[in-house]
Structure 1
């Protein structure tokens, strides 16, 4: 296909990207034909997928509002993806206009668009780094210039860790971030699961093996361990549609599988 002007030269436009597929699910425009084809195939196998992704995004917005209402004015969004409406800084600033945000992603398309979007905003920054490289994320001059790590930070790992296999020790990595953050910091986390939908999950995991970021769905007990060293706030680790919903949630929340929770570092 013809390369769009906004796509960095180093990006492979012939191989689907999890970040760009997610952008498509959310109604974004920064995706390629190969991403849309993969998304359409996934939706054909699992029609609820767009609702699942949108529900995950809605959880993120509620959790950011929760943290901002506590007085947290610093946010570190790792695995932030491609910018779409309702970004962390937009949501946080509805509560606190002075909120500061650093977005981190390893995907060059996500980084390029974040840089373009935030070019005139001196209270946000963008870092290209891998989640597992804690020193690179926290030590980057952009991070250090925008965030004061001596004060509480909301650390977001939203729809990220299911793309990090156990061989990369994601629990240990989360522990390193936890230890580097000030008391009063919060972990905002969501994670895909096969709980309740094992047949659909098998096909979905197989589909993501076509990307550079294969998926590792985990059960509730394993996701809960990411919160070691954090005190879970109510209602705990739940289906993301049940985490402090804005409106009553009817039956069938488990049809949108994915766990979400927020924990405080004491």
Structure 2
């Protein structure tokens, strides 16, 4: 708890209270530089909720939530079980505090697995015994990658495009992918570089990728109409704003 964690910073940006002093300190600096980050966080929560709803509406009863973050009323199992109580959910996150928080809030529910793992390593995630206990990989899975792919650096041990392709290879036909990715396409490049550096100084990787760069990560996943879409948010003022990201729903 003496180091900021993106899951808690993100929670605080969206109005949640699951933060520590170090997270709030970083968040204040992020807001000072980029006030629109709050809209990014809130719009991503809405996107994630709508994505899980679309999974269930499509008949997919298994959800793999990559980089799940802290529990909220919009967390995948809350959304899914409101529509179909038989949906099974595997939550994956690398932050130990987040994993402990989600585990505590879902303890005793046999429909849910909570695993600490690096989402970049698809095989480690999908072969984890706890994940395999709730997900049947011979049946379609809805993969939620909301605000997580921008945490995977191009020069990491596993290139992010390889990660996304490997999930496609391992999952059954009919599986769906819902992903969002931060982008500074509409911002001053110097501001974007400063924001990336601010997170980096705190030990957190958050990258901005263009629409073309995000699209390139998706590899063999087939995009559903309308393809890549800008993430938008409507604050209380009623004027729609750019939420600094792109979203996509894709299928195998």
1:207 aligns with 2:198: yes
Q: Contact 1:16 / 1:210 at 8 angstroms: preserved in 2?
A: no
Q: Contact 1:88 / 1:101 at 8 angstroms: preserved in 2?
A: yes
Partner Cα separation in structure 2 for residue 220 and residue 48 of structure 1 = 18
Structure 1 segments unaligned to the other structure (5+ residues): 1-12
2:106 matched residue in structure 1 = 118
| TM-score normalised by structure 1 residue count | 0.88
Partner Cα separation in structure 1 for residue 240 and residue 75 of structure 2 = 27
1:7 matched residue in structure 2 = none
Match for 2:41 among 45, 50, 53?
A: 53
Partner Cα separation in structure 2 for residue 154 and residue 210 of structure 1 = 34
Q: Contact 1:159 / 1:191 at 8 angstroms: preserved in 2?
A: yes
2:248 matched residue in structure 1 = 261
1:222 matched residue in structure 2 = 213
Q: Contact 1:93 / 1:99 at 8 angstroms: preserved in 2?
A: yes
SS of 1:183 mapped into structure 2: coil
| TM-score normalised by structure 2 residue count | 0.93
SS of 1:83 mapped into structure 2: coil
How many pairs align?
246
Partner Cα separation in structure 1 for residue 216 and residue 84 of structure 2 = 31
Partner Cα separation in structure 1 for residue 180 and residue 21 of structure 2 = 28
Deviations 1:170-200 (A, max 9, x none): 0001111110000000111000011011343
Deviations 1:106-157 (A, max 9, x none): 1001100111001021101101111122222111111111010000000111
Partner Cα separation in structure 1 for residue 111 and residue 240 of structure 2 = 40
Partner Cα separation in structure 1 for residue 137 and residue 202 of structure 2 = 34
- The CA RMSD measured in Å over matched residues stands at 1.6
Partner Cα separation in structure 2 for residue 252 and residue 123 of structure 1 = 37
Deviations 1:45-97 (A, max 9, x none): 22221111100111111111111100000000111111122100111122212
SS of 1:240 mapped into structure 2: strand
Q: Contact 1:74 / 1:154 at 8 angstroms: preserved in 2?
A: yes
1:29 matched residue in structure 2 = 17
Deviations 1:207-252 (A, max 9, x none): 101223222210000101222212111221111238xx9xxxx875
Q: Contact 2:232 / 2:240 at 8 angstroms: preserved in 1?
A: no
Partner Cα separation in structure 2 for residue 203 and residue 100 of structure 1 = 40
Q: Contact 1:152 / 1:182 at 8 angstroms: preserved in 2?
A: yes
Please identify, of 83-92 and 147-156, the stretch whose mean Cα deviation from structure 2 is larger: 83-92
Partner Cα separation in structure 1 for residue 130 and residue 214 of structure 2 = 30
Partner Cα separation in structure 1 for residue 6 and residue 201 of structure 2 = 10
Q: Contact 1:82 / 1:113 at 8 angstroms: preserved in 2?
A: yes
SS of 1:167 mapped into structure 2: coil
